[in-house]
Every structure is written in structure tokens, then in C-alpha cells.
Amino acid sequence: MTRVLSCLQPTGDITLGNYLGAIKHWVDDQSSESFHGVVDLHALTVSVDPEQLRARTLSTALVLLAAGLDPESTCVFVQSHVPEHAQLSWLMTCTVSYGELSRMTQFKDKSDKIGDQGFISAGLFTYPALMAADILLYDAEEVPVGDDQRQHLEITRDIAQRFNSRFGDTFVVPKAAIPKVGARIMDLQDPTSKMSKSADSPQGTVLLLDDAKTLEKKIKRAVTDTDGEVRFDPATKPGLANLLTILAVATGGDPASLAEKYTQYGPLKTDTAAALIEFLRPVHERFAELQANPDYVSKALATGADKARAVASVTLDRAMTNAGLLHR
């Protein structure tokens, strides 16, 4: 069985992009070798209200369980409950170079957004080291992620290989598993930008927990183009391609074949909204059930933290020993 790890940041409300690009695949492929975390330490790299962070961490964990991760077999945990992440992160910080960190597009994008006058934390610069620790602690062979995470996987592989060549075989070098359809869901109002939790685009961002009416309104108002021809062409018709992709994932079809069934944009939007509402209904129902059962959620997270620590502590110990740190 393949050891799998992938995580989610509690940086905002979970989007349809997070679900289609990542969470759905975690649920479909889950096993006793799957580890999925809510990485709350990453959310501290930008300023955030403590109460809001706590609430988002809990609701993100709830979403993972509502989506169908089974905490009896799959390990579902909160990153800060597993101190090994922060500990290994220092070793990773000392294994990655300033130059490599400077080339990360997420640092450039997020620091540009904050601007020269704002507070750019050192954590926003060094977070790839923490992310490498998140992955390498679990000896993960595969990391199922959306397309935006390619650069993070590359730097993690580079860090693992460098550490292994300096200190001997310590880490499994992981590879990314990126879905064929739905790996990059775009903003409905700006289909050349990725749909994102922290983007300031309320009409362009479909939230996983949007009610049916809101969802329908957002899909129907999605930006398309004016040539009126229905075909799957992400380069020249990104808005339409995005809708066809959403419809394809919701119905288990293929975007190019689905395009052949339509001659007008209106019916495509109507069908996409209807399919999406049905597709998300079970997640909404389960989320409401779990909200009413906080004991179940806290027990699941406590079990997840114990299971995660049992694996992570062994890897951390191996890495510390190989790097030359003295045993107590």
C-alpha cells in the first residue's frame, strides 16, 4: 500500500478548487497508509486573528471528515498537535538555501500582496522548509495535490535528496500525484487566476459549503466569452473550459466530450450548477451532522494526533541522529 500525505491550510473557507483538486482524491484513495493534516502553523505566516484561526482550523478538520475521510483508518490530524513538524522544520531550514527560497513564487506573490509598508514575516519566506518537514516526517511516497503545488514538491524532493546525500539515507523522496481533470479550478470571475481561499473574489470563488442558491448564482454569472461556440479550449476559452471541467468532475465525465453535447452557454451553466449541487449535497449533510457532534470531531483529532506522532517521532529521531545531534 502506498504511503500518502497531503494537507490543507486553514487560511479561509474551503473552496471548490481545494475539494476537486485535492480533498476528493484523498477521500477516494484513502487507506490506513493515508495521512491528512490541517496545517495551522502555516496559517501563522500572515497575520491572523487567533479566534479566527482556531475556528478555521476546526471547520477545516470538519470539512475533511464531512467529505468522507474515515478517522478509524485514515489519519486526520492538526499540525500543531504534532510538535515533530516544528522540530524537523529547523533541520529542513538548514538544508534549503536562501536562493531556493527566494525563487518560490508563493513568497513573491504573497509578499507583493502585503506590500513594502506591510509586515512580511520570516515565516512567509521559510515556510517551504516547514512544508518539507510536513511531508518527509511520514515517509510519504505520494503527495496528492492540485497543480499549484508542483514547485513545493520539487523543493521538498531537492531538500530530501540533499539531506540524504549529506547524512546518509534518511528520507523517502516523495512524488506529486496530480489529477488529470480538476487539478486547477479557476476563479469564475477571472478564469486566468486560480480559485483560492484567500483571494478577494467572493463571486468568483465557489465555497464548498455555499448553499444551493448561492452556488447556482455564482455559476450562472461565471465569466465566459463572446464567440458563443462551446468547445473545450483552456488556452483561448478559459472560462468555458473551467465550467466544463467542473461539470466533468461532478458527473465523472470528460470535459472535451461534454462540450460536444452543448451548443449554447446557458444550458451548460444550468446543468453545471445542478450537477454541482447534487455532487456536494452529501458533504453538506454530513457537515451539519458533525457540527452537532463536537465530541466525535475532537476524539477523531486526538486519535489522529497520536497516530501521526507515532510515525513522525521515529522519522525525526532518525533525522536528528543522522545529522549529528546528541541523544539524551
- The β-bridge partners of 8 are 38
Check residue 34 for interaction with ligand AQP (CB under 6 A).
no
**Which listed residue (4, 5, 9, 137) binds ligand AQP by CB under 6 A?**
9
207 binds ligand AQP (CB under 6 A): no
Q: Which one of the listed residues 24, 110, 269, 307 is annotated catalytic?
A: 110
Q: Inter-axis angle of helices 84-93 and 122-136, to 10 degrees? A: 110
Got the DSSP string for 46-87? S---HHHHHHHHHHHHHHHHHHT--TTTSEEEEGGG-THHHH
Residues 57-76 that bind ligand AQP (CB under 6 A): none
237 is catalytic: no
Q: Applying CB under 6 A, does 18 fall inside the site for ligand AQP?
A: yes
Catalytic residue among 24, 175, 197, 237: 197
The least CB distance from residue 200 to ligand AQP, in Å, is 10
Q: Residue 48 or 173: which CB sits closer to ligand AQP?
A: 48
Residue 213 bears catalytic tag: no
Phi, psi (5° rounding) for residue 106? -65, -40
H helices of the chain, in order, are 16-18, 24-28, 40-43, 50-67, 84-93, 98-102, 105-114, 122-136, 150-167, 212-220, 238-251, 255-259, 265-291, 294-323
245 sits near ligand AQP (criterion: CB under 6 A): no
Question: Among residues 37, 71, 146, 304, which is the contact residue for ligand AQP, using CB under 6 A?
Answer: 146
Q: Hey, how many other C-beta atoms are within 10 angstroms of the C-beta on 317?
A: 13
| Site residues (vs ligand AQP, CB under 6 A) | 6, 8-9, 11-12, 15, 17-18, 20-22, 145-146, 148-149, 183-185, 194-198
Would you please indicate which residues are annotated as catalytic (active-site) residues? 110, 194, 197
